[in-house]
Amino acid sequence: MIRSGRVSGSEMKSFDIVVVGAGIVGCAVAREFARTGMHVGIVEGGVPGGGATAAGMGHVVVMDDSPAQLALTQYSRLLWRNEANRLPLAVEYESCGTIWVAADDEEMEEVRAKQDIYARAGVESAVLNAAELAKAEPNLRKELVGGLLVPQDGVIYPPAAAGFFLSEAQRLGAMLYHSRAVKASNGEVKLENGARLLAEHIVLAVGTECNLLPVLPVQRRKGHLAITDRYSGFLRHQLVELGYLKSAHKLISDSVAFNIQPRQTGQLLIGSSRQYGDEDPGVDSAILRQMLDRAVNYMPALARISILRVWTGFRAATPDKLPLIGPATGLSDDASLWLAAGFEGLGITNALGAARLLMDGLLNRVQEIDAAPYLPARMANRVVIAHA
Ligand SMILES: Cc1cc2nc3c(=O)[nH]c(=O)nc-3n(C[C@H](O)[C@H](O)[C@H](O)COP(=O)(O)OP(=O)(O)OC[C@H]3O[C@@H](n4cnc5c(N)ncnc54)[C@H](O)[C@@H]3O)c2cc1C
């Protein structure tokens, strides 16, 4: 039975835990707690899965910017793979693998360094030379020098995954409330109509929205994506230029990097851009042009394809590029508040790992990876980002 709740202004309902935000992270968290038999409330002010989750690319990828990022993405990818056989077809899970594409000898050195890091962590990967790269992806520019194939990375369709986790949580008894939370503190979430949801713990899984906890150290980082018409067989793997790592690290300036994904429909999802300080959700045609030119530079045949739709979304970036998972200690004295926020460009990948870490942490169970690098308390002494 699918459960949606309604409460009138004067009403009060009690739960073990209330999750604010039904993006992919909040839905995964809600399901994880519902599985333990806890009574879960979920509050969503918009469409479930309609925030950054609907705007994202759905690449489930192991990334190695830092040991902590590597640990969480590797753990999360494993959880996706463990669940792959029971995901509904609508989630479009495909273990297509990633190829990190090297444009020159310097980037080929990075390929080898990356492979070393992956090998030490037990992540399968294989170096491709120019001929092997051309064979794997015939539409790439011929002058490229090689790449790193990471065969167990995958892709999903994120809003469908969020919807699946939510429906599972509801099947296990969780109640969804369609309302904005206007206050969340001291074990009480207040809805727009004045109704109150009480719980020992509140999890804020609010994406880029910081109004419930304005000290949340999260900045909005805009991104563009474009989807094409159907071109079956054009692309087999998710391709990412190695220069992506350099551009994704730029904290101030706008950047674009070649990143392309095959969809089960035969469509190609082309990304991506990163911009701070642009709060306009509209498409920035100059950045879009740069992004598409970059894609054509890597795959010349893209110049002849037709694009059906272009959109933008906002990533929730933290100062150290790691998410905030755990009690809000250090940001708030309120012991009832927990966070699952700040996932920047990896929230689709990390949703399952974050949900598991949060649940194990809250129930004092042994955590399968060290949760310390993601604890919000690490932000206590850092400069607080002021939100308008
Ligand atoms: C262009 C782009 C490409 C990306 N590509 C990838 C990728 O390939 N792989 C990857 O892993 N990640 C990717 N990401 C990142 C990923 O999309 C996000 O990290 C992830 O979707 C975050 O999920 P979330 O649940 O935290 O946030 P959201 O999906 O934004 O969900 C938060 C929800 O909280 C609700 N909410 C907020 N405040 C309140 C309130 N007060 N009351 C009630 N409800 C509230 C909102 O309505 C929203 O639905 C990409 C992001 C972008 C923008």
- On the question of pLDDT at 387 being above 60, the answer is no
* More confident position, 122 or 381: 122
Which of 165, 166, 206 is the best mutation target for the ligand 1 pocket, counting ligand atoms within 8 Å of the beta carbon and taking the most? 206
pLDDT tens per residue, range 160-184: 999 999 999 999 999 999 999 999 9
Q: How far apart are CA 196 and CA 194, in angstroms?
A: 6
Dist. CA 207 → ligand 1 center (Å): 5
Report pLDDT for 70: 98
Dist. CA 234 → ligand 1 center (Å): 29
Which of 53, 76, 157, 203 is the best mutation target for the ligand 1 pocket, counting ligand atoms within 8 Å of the beta carbon and taking the most? 53
* More confident position, 276 or 46: 46
Q: How many helices (H) and strands (E) does the chain have?
A: 9, 19
Closest ligand 1 atom, residue 347 Cα: 19
Q: With beta carbons less than 8 A apart as the criterion, state whether 291 and 283 touch.
A: no
Closest ligand 1 atom, residue 259 Cα: 8
Report pLDDT for 62: 98
The first and second tokens of residue 340, run together, are 């699952």
The first and second tokens of residue 387, run together, are 């939100």
Which of 18, 29, 32, 44 is the best mutation target for the ligand 1 pocket, counting ligand atoms within 8 Å of the beta carbon and taking the most? 44
- On the question of pLDDT at 1 being above 80, the answer is no
Region 42-64 average pLDDT? 97
Closest ligand 1 atom, residue 350 Cα: 11
- On the question of pLDDT at 49 being above 90, the answer is yes
pLDDT tens per residue, range 227-254: 999 999 999 999 999 986 565 555 567 8
Report pLDDT for 325: 98
Predicted model pTM: 0.96
Give the full edge-to-edge strand order of the sheet including 219-230: 126-129, 146-150, 98-102, 238-241, 255-262, 267-276, 219-230, 307-317
- Report the nearest-CA residue for atom 19 of ligand 1: 347
Q: With beta carbons less than 8 A apart as the criterion, state whether 260 and 221 touch.
A: no
Dist. CA 24 → ligand 1 center (Å): 7
If pLDDT is split at 50, 70 and 90, which confidence band does 8 have? confident
Average pLDDT, the chain: 94
Q: How far apart are CA 272 and CA 277, in angstroms?
A: 17
pLDDT tens per residue, range 349-378: 999 999 999 999 999 999 999 999 999 999
- Report the nearest-CA residue for atom 27 of ligand 1: 207
Report pLDDT for 388: 46
Report pLDDT for 39: 98
Q: How far apart are CA 199 and CA 152, in angstroms?
A: 39
DSSP state of 210: -
Dist. CA 280 → ligand 1 center (Å): 17
Q: What are the CA-CA distances from residue 150 to residues 69, 120, 153, 155, 285 (Å)?
A: 16, 14, 6, 13, 33
Say if ligand 1 is within 6 A of residue 44 CB: yes
If pLDDT is split at 50, 70 and 90, which confidence band does 9 have? confident
Region 15-34 average pLDDT? 98
pLDDT tens per residue, range 265-305: 999 999 999 998 889 999 999 999 999 999 999 999 999 99
Dist. CA 23 → ligand 1 center (Å): 6
With pLDDT > 90 as the criterion, what percentage of the chain qualifies? 91
- Report the nearest-CA residue for atom 47 of ligand 1: 46
Dist. CA 310 → ligand 1 center (Å): 18
